[in-house]
Amino acid sequence: MAAEPASSGPQTRVNSRRSYNVVHPVDIETPPLASPAPASSPDVYREVKHFKKWVVWLIPVFVVANVIMFIITMYVNNCPKNSINCIATFLGRFSFQPFKENPLLGPSSSTLQKMGALDVNKVVHRHQGWLLITCNWLHGGVFHLLANMLSLLVIGYRLEQEFGFVRIGLLYVISGLGGSLLSSLFIQTNISVGASGALFGLLGAMLSELITNWSIYASKFGALFTLLVVIAINLAVGILPHVDNFAHIGGFLSGFFLGFVFLIRPQFGWVNQRYGPPGYASSQAKPKFKTYQCILWVLSVIILIVGFTVGLVMLLRGVDANKHCSWCHYLSCVPTSRWSCKTEPAYCTSSQTGNQLFLTCSSNGKNGTYTFANASNSQIQGLCSQLCS
């Protein structure tokens, strides 16, 4: 733990007994200058506003909002009406699509598109830019939702407690936007949903917070190593098929630079000066932030402004980043003998004769015959997804 700077008067106390090896200075209730308290008298503590503990409420609200959006999505999906086979039919219209179509226990891709999934074609050609935000509040299935919400509670609770709901809320939303932006530049054919970009933003912010507030950590290198291992494992999972690792990387980079801007803390010397007893001044005035903190703050603001501006301009111009980076697709999926990275959307040709619906999948050539009278577009899309999977 960093040592407290020496001064001629009483010092600000530091409480280092907390998780994640972060220390929190608190100042003391100071007696009047005319009657200083004896050295043996106990100190009375109150929180310094820069290090106070916040009441956590926004992260639980985010979790509830994501769960509610999933319930609404399943209600709209209405599998019994739009598909022949469903899982957990006792749930009625909340039952899930077949495993072959959606192994995550969730809705169909057409329903996700209807609810606001990220579709590059709609963003570029139909000017539906809000999809960059709405996709962060949708999930592909129960497994997807549970994994993200548990991660959000574990990571977000600590950050909101330390830095408050305003900074963490902005960090979460902007990181999610950064993840969607990078994803849309590389994922041109498939839709994308999930809060993973925002979650990786919180992980990135934890790393930059450790760097910019380096001196207040007790076990610096241990905390850094642990955090890097967690980040590496999560990014490694992203190379599996059907996982949008570009959203993870974009969210992580956005959160990393946002952490230098939002999660900066003043140095202990300045805290001691500001909250020390009146009449006692240190021999040398201390600036609020260290030089390297200010440099990182300025550089991060510039990088964020330039990065988001360039990314949005490229997206709105319909740029396919894969054409400018022939190897970048390996960042999201690495093909092996066990799986393929080709995940083209399902397209089918259809014809209706009486109650017979005939479908042909354009990607694999499979044919299917179904008994449907006046099948709707959503029903055809659901059957097509099963046929092509």
**pLDDT (tens digit, 9 = 90+) per residue, 328-359?**
888 888 877 766 676 666 677 777 777 777 77
More confident residue, 102 or 115: 115
Q: What are phi and psi of 359, to 5 degrees?
A: -125, 145
- E strand intervals along the chain: 13-15, 24-28, 45-47, 348-353, 356-361, 367-371
CA distance 202 to 155: 7
State yes or no: is 196 an active-site residue: yes
Flag whether 11 is in a domain. Answer: no
Residues 154-181 have a mean pLDDT of 94
Flag whether 81 is in a domain. Answer: yes
What is residue 117's predicted lDDT score, i.e. its pLDDT?
Answer: 93
CA distance 191 to 102: 14
What is residue 102's predicted lDDT score, i.e. its pLDDT?
Answer: 85
At residue 237's C-alpha, the angle toward residues 208 and 193, to 5°, is 85
| Range of weakest confidence among 163-172, 173-182, 202-211, 335-344 | 335-344
pLDDT tens figures, 295-311: 999 999 999 999 999 99
- Active-site residue, from 196, 300, 378, 385: 196
Flag whether 320 is in a domain. Answer: yes
**How many structural domains is the chain composed of?**
2
More confident residue, 282 or 99: 99
- Indicate if 354 and 221 belong to the same structural domain: no
Q: If DSSP codes are grouped into helix, strand and coil, which group holds residue 190?
A: coil
State yes or no: is 389 an active-site residue: no
pTM for the model = 0.78
| Range of weakest confidence among 34-43, 47-56, 180-189, 319-328 | 34-43
What is residue 265's predicted lDDT score, i.e. its pLDDT?
Answer: 85
pLDDT at 34 over 60: no
- Indicate if 142 and 259 belong to the same structural domain: yes
| Closest by CA position to 200, among listed 170, 158, 156, 137 | 156
Residues 237-251 have a mean pLDDT of 84
Flag whether 245 is in a domain. Answer: yes
For residues 254 and 180, the answer to whether their CB atoms sit within 8 Å is: no
Question: Which letter does DSSP use for residue 35 in this model?
Answer: S
Flag whether 306 is in a domain. Answer: yes
For residues 370 and 357, the answer to whether their CB atoms sit within 8 Å is: yes
What is residue 389's predicted lDDT score, i.e. its pLDDT?
Answer: 63
Q: What is the CATH number of the domain that holds 249?
A: 1.20.1540.10
Strongest mean pLDDT among 47-61, 116-130, 264-278, 342-356: 116-130
- Indicate if 246 and 352 belong to the same structural domain: no
- Indicate if 178 and 220 belong to the same structural domain: yes
| Range of weakest confidence among 26-40, 89-103, 150-164, 253-267 | 26-40
- Active-site residue, from 24, 139, 144, 248: 248
Alpha helix stretches (DSSP H) within 164-195: 165-186
- Indicate if 249 and 377 belong to the same structural domain: no
Structural domain boundaries, residue 352: 348-388
